[in-house]
Each structure stands twice: as C-alpha cells, then as structure tokens.
Amino acid sequence: MVMDIPFYLPVGNECALFELAFRHKLPLLLKGPTGCGKTRFVAHMAAKLQKQLHTVSCHDDLTAADLTGRYLLKGGDTVWTDGPLTNSVRHGGICYLDEVVEARKDVTVVLHPLTDDRRLLPLDRTGELLEAPDDFMLVVSYNPGYQNVLKQLKPSTRQRFIAIEFDFPPPEVECKVVAEESGLDGERVAQLVRLAGRLRAMKGHDLEEGVSTRLLVYCATLIQAGLPLGQAVQTAMIEPLTDDQDVKKGLDEVVLAVF
C-alpha cells in the first residue's frame, strides 16, 4: 500500500515529534484552534509513515461503542463489527479522535488502558482483551480556546498524552500554505494573510475565535475562481466569524484599512 502524502508545511519540529511518539508508542495530544492544520498534519504523518488512518470527528452524542464497535444485524444474524478504534488496535495504524472533549464521558474509560504502558483495549461485549501492536498510535485533538468548563479534558486524561501546541502558522508559512492550496498569486495571498492577522488581533474583544487558515484558503480559492475580492472576503472571512451586526461593521473597517 503506497499512499499519496497530503501537503503539509511544518511550522516547527512537529513532524519529528510525531515520528518519535509513533516509534516509542506514546499517545499524542494536539491542542489548538479550529482550522489551523491539525487534521492535515495527522493525515500527512500517517501517509509518511505508511500507516492506515482512522479519523473520528467527535461530537456530543459519540459514545464508546461508536469507537469500539457493536453487534449489527446482517441478513438475520447478529455480527460484531469493529469500530474505528478497535480496527486500528486490531490491525495497527493511527486512530485520530478530533475534538475528543466533545465525546461522551464513557469514551475516556476506553482510552485510559490504551494510553498507559499496557496499551490494552478491553471489549466487554465480545469478551476480548486486545493488546495494541507496536504500530498502533492514538492521536487526539482539542481546542483549548472554547472556554467551556464542562468540556475540559480532565488532568487524569490529558496527563496520559504528550502534547504539541498548534496555532495559526506564522505569516510566511501561512502565505505558502494558502498559495499552494488555492493557486492564488503570492501578492494577493499576502494581503489576505495580513488581513487575517488583523482580524485575529480582535479575538477576545469582539470575536470568540480568529479567522482560521481554513477560511483563508476558502477565501483565496473563491478569488482564484473569479469572485471579486470584496465578496470573497465577506463570504469567507467575515460572515463565518460572527452574526452580530455591530461586530461585522467593526470587521469591515479592518478590511478597508488593509485593502
């Protein structure tokens, strides 16, 4: 199996850290705002290491059974079907739980024995006790920016992972990323990145989250496709950030100051 390696431009030594964690069987936590490159980074590393990747976007209805598996009816029989986590543990590979704090509490119960040196996954429903192979790795991410006390990772869980902090890439890296992803010319990309910097500076005052690299890529893609710059900025960099008319006016002023 030879996989294409998705484009990822490193910001620091995160690729070397990931590889070290993989080789030494250490679970990894990626912290950082939404849309800053965490998922792309994991996809890139999984392909580089030639490992199967199972990505699960966690949400508040996600239970342990969604990860481990369940008995399903198939042609009149009930058949056990592995969930993505069990699949990775059984066959090796990387399991990435995106926004893990969103998941139900019972998920942490499953993760604990997998994240200490036993590396075990007990499956109560089938009576199996799976031992993770050397090439199994658990990666989770969360966004510490959401100030939700109910949705913090408990210290007993987070201290089972080594952690890398992510943030939006510095301007020179972000320019290269946006240009590569959208095909837009360097000059216009640089303007958008400059605008993103200004908008991010408003985080905490009027905005909960700054504009993400993902949105910047969307904006540049729209411009490259022929949409006038003003409309692209409005659609991809202003409207997604807020519903508040006054805040929007403030953002429009920032846009005018940059262009």
Q: Which residues, numbered 11-30, are part of the site for ligand ADP (CB under 6 A)?
A: 11
Min dist CB 80 to ligand ADP, Å, is: 31
- Asked if residue 210 binds ligand ADP (CB under 6 A), the reply is no
* Both structure tokens of 147: 């100030």
Cα–Cα dist 5/63, whole Å? 31
Work out whether 235 is an interface residue with ligand ADP (CB under 6 A): no
Q: How far is residue 178's CA from residue 200's CA, in Å, rounded to a whole number?
A: 16
Of residues 27-66, those binding ligand ADP (CB under 6 A): 32, 34-40
Residues in the chain: 259
- Closest residue (Cβ) to ligand ADP? 37
Is the CB of residue 241 less than 8 Å from the CB of residue 251?
yes
Name the 3-class secondary structure at 94: strand
The secondary structure of the chain in percent helix, strand, coil, rounded to multiples of 5, reads: 45, 20, 35
Stretch that binds ligand ADP, among 4-12, 54-62, 120-128, 230-238 (CB under 6 A): 4-12
Distance, in Å, from the CA atom of 251 to the CA atom of 245, rounded to the nearest integer, reads 10
We find the least distance from the C-beta atom of residue 216 to ligand ADP, in angstroms, to be: 8
The maximal CA–CA distance of the chain, rounded, in angstroms, is: 66
Nearest approach, Cβ of residue 31 and ligand ADP (Å): 10
Q: In the complex, what is the shortest distance from the CB of residue 42 to ligand ADP, in angstroms, rounded to a whole number?
A: 8
**DSSP state for residue 203 in the 8-state scheme:** B
Least distance from ligand ADP to the Cβ atom of residue 170, Å:
10
211: contact with ligand ADP by CB under 6 A = no
Cα 206 from Cα 35, distance rounded (Å): 19
181 touches ligand ADP (CB under 6 A): yes
Question: Between residues 130 and 215, which has the closer beta carbon with respect to ligand ADP?
Answer: 215
Considering only residues 136 to 165 of the shown chain, the ones binding ligand ADP according to CB under 6 A are none
Supply the DSSP symbol for 207.
B
Residues that bind ligand ADP (CB under 6 A): 7-9, 11, 32, 34-40, 169, 177, 181, 213-214, 217
